[in-house]
């Protein structure tokens, strides 16, 4: 994931095998399982929840330069 407003900050999402055969999971680069592959919207919501505080902090710091 990439946002041009914070080009030095990003996130990689991978698919990894889950505990149930045929079910894969979206996993953040920090190792957090976000959602099964059948629920991509939930995975997007989870990564938004994780990243929002960091992106907000970076943007706030940029305005105080």
User: What does residue 24 show for φ and ψ, rounded to 5 degrees?
Assistant: -105, 155
Cβ-based burial of 35 (10 A; exposed 0-12, middle 13-18, buried ≥19): middle
pLDDT-derived band at 64, boundaries 50, 70, 90: confident
pLDDT digits (tens, 9 = 90+) for 6-42: 877 778 999 999 999 999 999 999 999 999 999 999 9
pTM score of the predicted model: 0.79
Arithmetic mean of pLDDT, 34-51:
95
Question: In this structure, what token pair is assigned to residue 49?
Answer: 């929840």
């Amino acid at each position: 994931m990439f946002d041009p407003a914070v080009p030095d900050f990003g996130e990689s999402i991978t698919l990894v095998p889950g505990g149930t055969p045929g079910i894969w999971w979206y996993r953040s680069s920090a190792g957090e399982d976000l959602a099964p592959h059948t629920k991509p919207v939930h995975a997007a919501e989870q990564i938004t929840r994780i990243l929002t505080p960091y992106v907000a902090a970076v943007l706030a710091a940029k305005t105080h330069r």
